[in-house]
Amino acid sequence: MFEIFKKNKNQEDVKKDEKIEETNYEESVEDEKKGFFGKLKDGLEKTRRGITSKVDDIIKQYQKIDEELFEELEEVLIMADVGFETTEKIIENVKDKVRERKLTEASDVKGVLKEELKEILENVDGSSKLNIEPSPSVILVVGVNGVGKTTTIGKLAYRYRNKGKSILIAAGDTFRAAAIEQLNEWTTRANVDLISHKEGSDPAAVIFDGIQAAKARETDILICDTAGRLHNKKNLMNELNKIMRIVEREYPEATKEILLVLDATTGQNAVMQAKVFKEACNISGIALTKLDGTAKGGVIFAVQSELNVPVKLVGVGEGVDDLQEFDSETFIDAIFPE
């Protein structure tokens, strides 16, 4: 009897312990989420001040919704780098909703605006997840100079390496020796291998070697850096085309991601860059970097609305953990906290 009782009791204890562990686990996931959200929220502080705080101020000045209120909201969005075209679209849709719902109080507008901005971020063809499944996969990282390509590659390598993926990096930016050296530092930090040639060599040849090595080692993810600075735009695009042809020919079985890196601090210029790259290559995702400390974060709405390419990653700092997977709901909540 006693034995059975004891056993039962033990089982109960086990269950209790399991419950405690479960709670701890949930708490730690919750903590991680908070840390993740906190970092995003901190990073977006200036953008938030540029949009939400100004919207709040305007709404306070009006009691009833009228045309002037919309004009002021429009100005706020344009100032926050949302872009003219996208701002017009947003304001039109907000007006429609206000009419449909017969809203009259100025304070109701904020919720509708938040809804509309969220819709812009969601209304994009394609998933916001990186195309890396099934393996093998190859991520080609493109963008003009200085936007954060190499840093993003380092952060990605570190993240996926920690998730147990095997990673190989190809130093396709052969334009200057410092680029290879910089990548080398990141790969040391992330503890992954680097395939590189010497400065000035053919980038397509580096990518070719990267692919052969990835195949031989059965690497999960091959990440390729590319140069952002070439003598002119035509050269840059020709080189990217050549690299893409090599990838198509040598690695047809690989899942492909062509990731365009854009620097949020450049505002509307980032939209222009995206348009040029979209014409030259089949961009499948965008990494928007340097959102921390810029008030120009509103550019994300222009990028999503005018390019129709999903933002997949956001950079909120220079550290290895400062790259986040993009999630529209979290992003909007970070700009429009309750």
Ligand X SMILES: Nc1nc2c(ncn2[C@@H]2O[C@H](COP(=O)(O)OP(=O)(O)OP(=O)(O)O)[C@@H](O)[C@H]2O)c(=O)[nH]1
The residues that touch ligand X, with contacts defined as CB under 6 A, are 143, 145-151, 173, 179, 228-229, 289-290, 292, 315-318, 322
Least distance from ligand X to the Cβ atom of residue 93, Å: 30
Picked from Mg ion, ligand X, none, the partner binding residue 159 (CB below 5 to 8 A depending on kind) is none
**Which one of ligand X, Mg ion, none is in contact with 147 (Cβ closer than 5 to 8 A by kind)?**
ligand X
Asked if 302 and 81 count as a contact pair (C-beta separation under 8 A), the reply is: yes
Candidate ranges 34-42, 84-92, 147-155, 328-336; the one touching Mg ion (CB under 5 A): 147-155
Quote the least distance from Cβ 144 to ligand X, whole Å. Answer: 7
**258 — phi, psi (to 5°)?**
-110, 105
What lies within 8 Å, CB to CB, of 117 at 6+ separation is 90, 301, 332, 335, 336
| CB-CB contact of 326 with 300 (8 Å) | no
Q: Least CB distance from residue 150 to ligand X, whole Å?
A: 3
- Spell out the residues 6+ positions from residue 214 whose beta carbon is closer than 8 angstroms to its own: 136, 138, 168, 222, 251
Residue with tokens 């040849």: 205
Q: Tell me the closest approach of the beta carbon of residue 180 to Mg ion, in angstroms.
A: 9
Selection from ligand X, Mg ion, none that 337 binds (CB < 5 to 8 A by kind) is none
Q: Which residues pair with 226 in a beta bridge?
A: 172
Nearest distance from residue 149's CB to Mg ion, in Å?
5
Please state, in angstroms and rounded to a whole number, the distance separating the CA atoms of residues 34 and 56. Answer: 25
Length reported for the chain: 338
- Shortest CB 189 distance to Mg ion, Å: 15
What is the per-residue binding string for Mg ion in 32-71, x denoting contact by CB under 5 A? ----------------------------------------
- Rounded CA separation 208/196 (Å): 11
The yes or no reply on residue 289 touching Mg ion (CB under 5 A) is: no
What is the footprint of Mg ion within residues 163-192 (CB under 5 A)? 179
Using the structure block, give the residue that is written with the tokens 């998730």. Answer: 163
Both tokens of residue 224?
């390729």
Helical ranges in the chain per DSSP H: 2-43, 45-48, 54-61, 67-79, 84-100, 109-122, 149-162, 177-190, 203-217, 233-250, 268-280, 299-307, 328-335
Binder to Mg ion among 47, 52, 137, 150 (CB under 5 A)? 150
The entry of Mg ion, ligand X, none near residue 253 (CB within 5 to 8 angstroms by kind) is none
Which is closer to ligand X, CB of 262 or CB of 309? 262
Q: Which two tokens stand for residue 290?
A: 């340097």
Neighbours of 8 (CB within 10 A): 10
DSSP string, 250-261: H-TTSEEEEEEE
**Closer CB to Mg ion, residue 142 or residue 307?**
142
From Mg ion, ligand X, none, interface partner of 229 (C-beta below 5 to 8 A by class): ligand X
Q: How far is the CB of 223 from Mg ion (least distance, A)?
A: 12
- CB nearer to ligand X: pick between 76 and 260: 260
Closest to ligand X by CB, 116 vs 173, is: 173
Nearest residue to Mg ion, by Cβ distance, number only: 150
Q: Which does 273 bind (CB under 5 to 8 A by kind): ligand X, Mg ion, none?
A: none
CB of 330 to ligand X, least distance (A): 16
Q: Summarize as ranges the residues that interact with Mg ion (CB under 5 A).
A: 149-150, 179
